[in-house]
Amino acid sequence: MRTLLTNGRIYSPWARNATALLLDGTDIAWLGDAESAATMTADRTVDLAGALVLPAFVDAHFHATATGLALSGLDLWPAGSLAAALGLIEQHARRGRGRPLLGSGWDETRWPEHRPPTATELDRASYGGVVYLARTDAHSAAVSSALMASVPGLAAMAGYSPSGHLTKQAHHAARAVALSAITSGQRADLHRGALRHAASLGVAAVHEMAGPEISSAEDLTGLLGLVSGAETEPLPEVYAYWGELRGVHTALELGAVGAGGDLFCDGSIGSHTAGLLRPYVDSDTSGYLRYETAELAEHVRACTESGLQAGFHAIGDAATDQVVAAMRLAQERFGGAGVFGAGHRIEHSEMVTDVAALAATGLTASVQPAFDATWGGSAGMYAERLGAERASTLNPFAAMAAAGVPLALGSDSPVTAVDPWGTLRAATYPTNPEHALGPRAALNAHTRGGWRAARADGDGSGVVAPGSPATYAIFAAGSLGVDAPDERLARWSTDERSGVPGLPDLAPGAELPRCLRTVVRGRQIFDSGELA
């Protein structure tokens, strides 16, 4: 079927002032102006009414099950105090009637009590139930006594505390037990809800960061089965990563594109577990590094020889330095395998001591600008943990891009919400202006950069151009059809920094676009019902 989209704004480097687009089945056939479009033969014509057509977004760091839980279950982010959080927990426990209570989103730095809930408080609020509450960064959790009692050997594990605030190995073990309470049918509902939500925001693909400590093989198998099944509704594409050291064989069996992603070299800043070169200012610790550098280098070799991407979770400067050192070591020992050009990844990489050294490794940096928007600034959590001066150096997007580090943008949902336009705003207006990306560079990193990060851009995915897949999203600013056509189109020429007509104003306070339709390779995965 040939479909003509006309009377809109088409964002494309191949046709700077295009207002019409012709689709032929799963591909883009033509770009041009509305006058030329009138001569085209099409089976169907869609009046865009001034809407903007962009390459659809890619969320390059995503957790489907946890996102589904946050959307449908207990989200503690809105709680303004520990007391308010305990009240929400009690409400959910009553509704759950004894079922395990899984939640996330709490951040003690935002609460006047400035501490997490204790196991005793959770026991009381849940009437003695099984409770698992992930901190907003997902690198520690508050759990109930009943859950701790169900984890064999928990008290001997690193990161255990009788208070119920668990980190490191103890946290991973408790999370595994908590998630095991979810049935396969419930997981499918969570996956479907998470992917539908992403599609409704203009997201065409997600990079699922799975692993034995953050989900399970069964969870990943179910997710991939859902999106590939012949009977399923059209959903965003899923590129799977399995974060397990020496887990190459498992990754291949599961159909993952990488044996990495959330392969935790360290933890998080909020939980005091990110590996730092200098101690935290509010705690007598420098976090931790989980593996030896030689182990990481061997993992890179195994991935490269198996045709898989290696990927490493590294947030602190010590962890990022270690990944860079591991890449160098792998290249020195196994350079014949083409280590630096194999498309390996580093996730987060918030603290970078040597941007040029990172660029030299060929690693793609999968970054989350919303981290800075949420916890950055002189009064944010990063400043509390690290001091304002050190915190101001985090997330150097501009320096990485200038040095040639390939960037892909994501959310790490549910750590921060799936919000593509909010992500672009955070990247272009960061708390430290020196780290700002230009709007065009940010958009490229959140579209084409995501396909490249998964080594899936060989067919032209990530751009709106003739011959490329028909993977795009349509956005509106305000109501459709209320202005004259020229006025509607002018809405998309407001960000002067982009240097390219057609991008909306991303400045803080400006109204961000809303999604009308999302299409992946010619298949519609979301429609608001507002377009003909």
- Contact in structure between 61 and 209 (CB atoms under 8 Å): yes
In angstroms, the CA 526 to CA 181 distance is 31
Residue 414: the pLDDT is 94
> What's the token pair of residue 218?
């069964």
Residue 231: the pLDDT is 64
Of 141, 103, 102, 136, the closest CA to residue 119 belongs to 141
The pTM of this model reads 0.92
Q: Which CATH superfamily hosts domain 2-56+463-527?
A: Urease, subunit C, domain 1 (2.30.40.10)
Contacts of 166 (CB under 8 A, 6+ apart): 140, 141, 142, 143, 159, 160, 174
30-66 pLDDT, tens digit each: 999 888 888 888 899 999 998 999 999 999 999 999 9
Count CA atoms closer than 13 A to 472's CA, side-chain side.
25
Residue 13: the pLDDT is 83
Residue 500: the pLDDT is 52
Count of positions (residues) in the chain: 532
319-370 pLDDT, tens digit each: 999 999 999 999 998 876 588 888 999 999 999 999 999 999 999 999 999 9
Low-confidence residues of the chain: pLDDT under 70: 230-231, 336-337, 478-502
Give me the torsion for CA of 289, 294, 296, 301, rounded to 10°: 180
Residue 497: the pLDDT is 58
Residue 494: the pLDDT is 56
Contacts of 459 (CB under 8 A, 6+ apart): 468, 469
Instruction: Using the Cα atoms of residue 415, residue 416, residue 420 and residue 424 in order, give the sign of their dihedral.
Output: negative
In angstroms, the CA 523 to CA 57 distance is 15
Can you give the residue ranges of every domain in the chain? 2-56+463-527, 65-179
CATH topology of domain 65-179: Diaminopimelate Epimerase; Chain A, domain 1 (3.10.310)
- For residue 455, the one-letter residue type is R
Q: Which helix (H) or strand (E) holds 425?
A: helix 420-428
